[in-house]
């Protein structure tokens, strides 16, 4: 691989980190903060609806596609949006660190919403920038680099944040995360460059919403396009729905923040990184059809293992093993899913179409995830504390079945389209 390609992968590793850090701090680590100070599971679940900003990002994708931000336009169209949103995230993280969620929950939630909104807009620009930076056959490498950076952010934003929160304070932990965002932003922007996408079609807002959708249905046909959207909307249901309850589950099972940070999250990162690159190899060797099926099955199976942990005594080694298996599967699915969505996007509407597809991917999961705390509490009222948690994980595992059925029943589509293999 030539030097330029290596630098490109490294830069997208940085962008993956920038994309993952605000997401994990709001969607995952924030739930530990809220549970640690005594907030109810049902309320934690509802607060996770803040992340619907990621599911609705196609609504502001036309603005990102249309023109660069004036303040940083000299850096290029996509990077101007990336820098602008990262600056907003950094300021909001620092401000959030000074707010007490128990006494000022409304302000706390509002700042979390602002971070999620800026993060979702940043993702639009980063995804479009990635798609425009390489040919389809090279997207697997960029996706792997992006996923690597994203998963490092998961470790830093969860493991390190939890350790520093327990050792010092939640405020210090989030201030430290803001500092890391600053350092990463400077490095990533410094080593990357941007070429103008001459194929990008710039329309008014109304046409920016309609034309890319028409293009998608024209290319795949009404029936197949609808099936593809169903696959996309159900493929990540299992891990998205269980996401808001992951840290509350660890805490309720008696694990300390340090145990979660040192053992569970570190093991998770290592396993995920391996999974990310295995996913890239899997796509190249087996094609997307087999990769999609294998990934969904692994996620279902490994998620089911948490139901076993729920009815057994506290065992750090057992939990670490289960988390490692689940994270390995998540790493594979992450790379496979990015490659799948990228293959469906037209170069004319990169920002909007990719944003729309990822929005559809996350929407159902985020809606159901908002009720995850209510589900756990209802299961616990019926079956008791531990068996309630067990029932929740059995339920989330079953959510992987619809996507697997849809992929299998439409296998001929994948076989007939060379762009998917």
The four Cα atoms 212, 214, 359, 127 give a dihedral, to 10 degrees, of: -30
CB 11 within 8 A of CB 185: no
Share of the chain above pLDDT 90, in %: 54
Segment 294-311 shows an average pLDDT of 95
Does residue 421 carry a pLDDT above 50? Answer: no
1 falls in which pLDDT band (50, 70, 90)?
very low
**Each residue's pLDDT tens digit, 41-72:** 898 888 889 988 988 888 888 888 888 898 89
**Which string of b and e fits 109-134 if b means at least 16 CB within 10 Å?**
bebbbbbbbbbbbbbbbbbbbbbbbb
Residue 396, both tokens: 């989330």
Residues 193-246 pLDDT 10s: 667 655 555 556 677 778 888 999 999 999 999 999 999 999 999 989 998 898
Rounded CA gap, 21 and 151, in Å? 9
Residue 420: pLDDT band with limits 50, 70, 90: very low
Q: With a threshold of 0.85, does the pTM exceed it?
A: no
Neighbours of 219 (CB within 10 A): 11
Between 248-257, 265-274, 292-301, 356-365, the lowest mean confidence (pLDDT) is in 265-274
Highest mean pLDDT among 252-266, 291-305, 362-376: 291-305
- Single out the residue of 311, 168, 332 nearest to residue 253, CA to CA: 311
Q: How far apart are the first and last CA of the chain?
A: 21
Judged by phi (left if over 0) then psi (alpha if -120 to 50, else beta), residue 383 lies in alpha
Convert 140-209 into a string of H (helix), E (strand) and C (coil). HHHHHHHHHHHHHHHHHHHHHHHHHHHHCCHHHHHHHHHHHHHHHHHHHHHHCCCCCCCCCCCCCHHHHH
Q: What is the pLDDT of residue 132?
A: 81
99: phi then psi, degrees, rounded to nearest 5 = -100, 135
In angstroms, how far is CA 260 from the centroid of its own chain?
20
Taking each continuous run of H as one helix and of E as one strand, the counts in the chain are 22, 0
Which of the residue ranges 37-51, 137-151, 287-301 would you say has the lowest mean pLDDT?
Answer: 137-151
- Residue 240 tokens, joined: 């998205």
Average pLDDT for the chain: 88
The whole-angstrom distance between residue 171's C-alpha and the CA centroid of its chain comes to 24
Provide the b/e sequence for 83-101 (b: ≥16 CB within 10 Å): bbbbbbbbebbbebbebeb
- Helix extents (H) in 97-138: 105-132
Q: Which CATH class is domain 3-420?
A: mainly alpha
99: Cβ–Cβ under 8 A, 6 or more apart, which residues?
107, 108, 111
Question: Which tokens hold the place of 194?
Answer: 């941007």
């Amino acid at each position: 691989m030539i030097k330029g390609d290596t630098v490109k992968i490294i830069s997208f590793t940085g962008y993956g980190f920038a994309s993952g850090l605000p997401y994990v701090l709001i969607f995952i680590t924030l739930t530990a903060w809220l549970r640690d100070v005594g907030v109810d599971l049902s309320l934690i679940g509802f607060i996770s609806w803040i992340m619907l900003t990621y599911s609705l990002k196609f609504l502001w994708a036309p603005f990102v596609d249309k023109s660069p931000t004036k303040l940083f336009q000299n850096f290029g169209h996509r990077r101007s949006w990336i820098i602008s949103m990262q600056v907003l995230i950094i300021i909001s993280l620092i401000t959030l660190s000074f707010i007490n969620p128990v006494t000022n929950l409304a302000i706390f939630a509002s700042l979390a919403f602002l971070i999620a909104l800026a993060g979702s807009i940043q993702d639009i620009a980063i995804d479009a920038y990635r798609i425009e930076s390489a040919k389809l056959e090279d997207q697997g490498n960029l996706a792997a680099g992006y996923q690597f950076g994203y998963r490092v952010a998961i470790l830093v934003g969860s493991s390190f944040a939890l350790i520093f929160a327990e050792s010092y304070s939640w405020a210090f932990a989030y201030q430290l995360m803001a500092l890391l965002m600053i350092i990463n932003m400077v490095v990533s922007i410094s080593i990357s460059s941007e070429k103008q996408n001459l194929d990008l079609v710039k329309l008014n807002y109304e046409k920016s919403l309609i034309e890319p959708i028409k293009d998608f249905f024209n290319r795949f046909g009404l029936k197949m396009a609808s099936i593809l959207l169903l696959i996309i909307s159900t493929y990540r249901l299992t891990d998205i729905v269980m996401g808001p309850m992951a840290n509350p589950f660890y805490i309720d099972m008696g694990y300390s923040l340090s145990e979660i940070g040192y053992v569970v999250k570190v093991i998770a990162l290592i396993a995920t990184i391996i999974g990310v690159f295995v996913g890239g190899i899997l796509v190249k060797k087996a094609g997307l059809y087999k990769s999609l099926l294998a990934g969904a099955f692994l996620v279902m199976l490994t998620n089911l293992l948490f139901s076993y942990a729920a009815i057994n005594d506290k065992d750090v080694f057992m939990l670490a093993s289960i988390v490692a298996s689940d994270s390995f599967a998540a790493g594979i699915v992450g790379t496979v899913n990015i490659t799948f969505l990228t293959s469906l996007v037209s170069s004319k509407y990169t920002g909007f179409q990719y944003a729309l597809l990822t929005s559809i991917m996350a929407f159902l999961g985020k809606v159901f995830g908002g009720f995850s705390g209510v589900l756990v509490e209802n299961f616990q009222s019926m079956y008791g504390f531990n068996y309630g948690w067990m029932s929740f994980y059995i339920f989330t595992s079953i959510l992987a079945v619809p996507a697997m059925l849809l992929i299998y029943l439409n296998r001929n589509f994948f076989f007939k389209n060379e762009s998917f293999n």
